[in-house]
Amino acid sequence: MKDSPKSSSETEDKLFHSKITLQIKGKLIMLDDPCVMGILNVTPDSFFADSRISDDERQLLSKAEKMVEDGAVIFDLGGYSSRPGAVNVSTGDEIKRVIPAVRSLKKHFPDILLSVDTFRHEVAKESISEGADIVNDISGGELDHNMIPTVGSMDVPFICMHMRGNPETMQSKTEYNNIEKEILSFFNEKLNQCHKAGIKDVIIDPGFGFAKTTSQNYRILKNLSYFKTIKNPILAGVSRKSMIYKTLDISPEEALNGTTALNMAALINGAKILRVHDVKEATQTIKLYKNIYP
């Protein structure tokens, strides 16, 4: 019996689930699809206590080594907590936290891609100069209009997240007429800005928990495939967030099982990168996903 011809939707799905290619400082990098980004927070106040790393280099490297062993392809290093209501940190203090960590991580793990989680172009520029490979901006360039031109000039990919306001004000900005359409419009505008600035690769992140209510977060997760019309890789960051622990009436420390469940939903609906605290479990989730959708 002959195989039936592939439908246009099957062809589109095949294209959508192709590998990710990133151009970084003149080099072409191909990533397995999907892949895991491990969170490294050099902050004293991140919402999940176990993710906090002091200025002890040994603690940073130990956590990073475990992530590599567990399957991380990308580190995401942050020096500014973006949890709701987070206190502002000066640019100078953020640089003091981030740059030594960038140097250490690139020295000890040169083959692991390093993303720097910042919305300040000064932090991004210095981090890239010290070896960072990707810039992850929770505001998509909205909080610092020099960010997108800076990333474009330094020839690295840009993770563009949707958020309204800033970490101190975002939870007061959750009114939408049609949340999917408004987020898609935001991304289209940002992609145009990125293209004009010379950014070759943009990864989009709908921003779970950022200027969204719990019900809005679940609506976006359910309809995540809506954003594949842009044809840019989608990053999903739901790890241990309030949309899980508040719904289940538990603490962030108890939210691993819920995180795994939502990560599988994100993969099924089109996510290519899972940003997580728990790399081993996310890697296992991807392996199971690939057995369902080879």
Amino acid at 6: K
Q: Is residue 80 within 8 Å of residue 90, measured between CB atoms?
A: no
Catalytic residue selected from 106, 241, 272, 280: 241
Is 83 an active-site residue?
A: no
Catalytic residue selected from 63, 97, 228, 275: 275
Q: Is residue 70 within 8 Å of residue 88, measured between CB atoms?
A: no
Q: At what angle do helices 91-108 and 57-70 cross, to 10 degrees?
A: 60
Q: Is residue 90 within 8 Å of residue 122, measured between CB atoms?
A: no
Is 96 an active-site residue?
A: no
**Tokens representing 291?**
């057995």
Q: Tell me which residues are annotated as active site.
A: 241, 275
